[in-house]
Structure 1
């Protein structure tokens, strides 16, 4: 556990030298003493050695800046929450005392002071603040540890999910790079187009991670169909289409998944990334905005990567050809707004593939 350096300096603020000496003599056996003659000097001292100060003993009536003005400044800056302030005063005005407490004073000690009273009150409050600070530090450290553990668990979960998704891609004779590309395209899409407006950085990360699970349902498809190089028969295609519903059901059957922040996105994407804007997709024939936005984005990302990447049944199309096929409607009907955004960011998508090519050549 991190060691806490305990402040051990008391700042005495009073325009009367005798009062400063009296208070200093009472407390000098247990604390280091700093003094100030007025409110302005007090603020300067706090600025200079605030980390070492464990308490402030403050007079009310002082030249330049009085005690109430000092309190107003300390209260505004939040200093009274970390350093206890005692009002040492001969004032009997109830309104002044009330105002002092409202501004955060911990205690009011009347003049002339009693050595015993000053020691007991000051020591008790300083001990209280020190204990509270230590407890706060312990709680903060425990929160940090829990956060780090949560991050590790999430990272492990993400790794398992990505491994499962990659294994499924290998079953269908596709490179594991496909799922990484879907992740990267989805993220780039949301970060560089109006479609991402309204999503936080964290939400974009969740949607992008959920995108890697778009084809998780293919685990239920027989190898003979999944790896077939030729055109599927109508019966085989009907079986292939079930990977969408199977994917959603699979995710819902994993109890640990339901508590993860990207679960809802993952289910939508797995089930609906083959729906079409014109309602002629599957599995439910959703139309238009009935299709979740994130599923629509993953849909166009999936098509684009499939076109520009080599497959066992075809060579890779050029970026220009792939763009033309998508815009021309050869690969399905997409949301016109998404299609417009896609055309604008497509040059950025090419950089994802060029970057990988450069890394392979190095």
Structure 2
């Protein structure tokens, strides 16, 4: 009744009919083209369908059978999502319009009346099977191409990220920093977005893009003369005006890198580079934005930048300890921040401290 089956090959035709003569007739029609699997009722048919679902290319199904009829089989296959990938042909003497309509509504491919005409049923069944096979080949081809496109896109993203990180780190080295600053800004930004309400509504992909964009906040410093950028003492008013230009310069530089426009981080990066020195009271630069005119991500990077600067040693200062740095921020000694942002920052500041290796902050260094 059944030839040896080969798992993983869609070359098996399942015939479900309670009459042995009908099964034999259908098997004879298709035996040269397909492997044949038979079942005497609907329940046995479902069992064999489950056991060989990766081999069955079509089901020839009778309607009136004991134990479980053909319509119940169709309902079960519909529930399990099998009708979308395995074509079912109702081969029956049942001529009720209601039955035929219900079968088509459930998703049966064709209704073939008994007694069958061999060359007719062979052509109708074979054509549909080939159609399903072609669709499966196309789906597989599309899936393969999507996978390759995704792989290449990820490779490009990794390359872009590497270039972005290298550029940002190079700027930090030019500022006589260790290069860890940009990584900490990335990490602080991500913690704030993932662990506080300021990241609500953002997808994980958006959080990653904003965190990556954060490391480019000071890219405009490449335009600042070394004498000003690395001056060990306080800047003169004239020098400070030059230093302030790095915000707008950074945004303009990013806008002139066409490859960066394809990055999901691009818009965030331009906004952060330009506005991470804006202040909640409107006394920041370069645009004097106030309150919620400043994007959430620019606000977060601004706070992260100030915090990291306070607890890290710079050419113009020693590091403050964490408690002193937090108090200076709360007292408004480093600019005015969104009160709600500060409240959220305090809930994760203990976790942020873990980003700093022992001795990196002021506990073991001379304070000012």
TM-score normalised according to structure 1 size: 0.94
CA distance in 2, matches of 1:139, 1:345: 44
CA distance in 1, matches of 2:211, 2:51: 49
Instruction: Determine the structure 2 residue equivalent to 1:360.
Output: none
1:38-49 equivalence runs, <5 A: 38-49=41-52
Instruction: Determine the structure 1 residue equivalent to 2:133.
Output: 130
- Report how many aligned residue pairs link the two structures: 354
Instruction: Determine the structure 1 residue equivalent to 2:4.
Output: none
Instruction: Determine the structure 1 residue equivalent to 2:340.
Output: 337
Q: Name the SS for the 2:356 alignment partner.
A: helix
User: Which structure dedicates a bigger proportion of its chain to helix?
Assistant: 1
Instruction: Determine the structure 2 residue equivalent to 1:107.
Output: 110
1:66-105 equivalence runs, <5 A: 66-105=69-108
Instruction: Determine the structure 2 residue equivalent to 1:173.
Output: 176
- Does the 8 Å CA contact 1:269/1:298 hold for their aligned counterparts? yes
Instruction: Determine the structure 2 residue equivalent to 1:291.
Output: 294
CA distance in 2, matches of 1:196, 1:356: 31
Greater Cα offset, 69-78 or 262-271: 69-78
- Does the 8 Å CA contact 1:6/1:130 hold for their aligned counterparts? no
Instruction: Determine the structure 1 residue equivalent to 2:191.
Output: 188
Gaps of 5+ in 1: 358-362
Q: 1:322 is matched with which residue: 315, 320, 325? A: 325
Q: Name the SS for the 2:130 alignment partner.
A: helix
Gaps of 5+ in 2: 1-6, 361-368
Q: Deviations over 1:199-248 (max 9, x none)?
A: 11111101100000100111111111111111111001001001011111
Q: 1:154 is matched with which residue: 157, 169, 190? A: 157
TM-score normalised according to structure 2 size: 0.92
CA distance in 2, matches of 1:80, 1:187: 45
Greater Cα offset, 51-60 or 76-85: 76-85
1:201-240 equivalence runs, <5 A: 201-240=204-243
* Closer, same or farther: CA 271–347 of 1 in aligned 2, 3 Å: same
* Closer, same or farther: CA 192–356 of 1 in aligned 2, 3 Å: farther
Instruction: Determine the structure 1 residue equivalent to 2:123.
Output: 120
CA distance in 1, matches of 2:318, 2:230: 16
Q: Name the SS for the 1:55 alignment partner.
A: strand
- Does the 8 Å CA contact 1:183/1:211 hold for their aligned counterparts? yes
Q: Name the SS for the 1:10 alignment partner.
A: strand
Q: Deviations over 1:90-136 (max 9, x none)?
A: 12222322221222111222111122222222222212211211111
Q: Name the SS for the 1:81 alignment partner.
A: coil
Do residues 246 (structure 1) and 246 (structure 2) align?
no
CA distance in 2, matches of 1:165, 1:264: 17
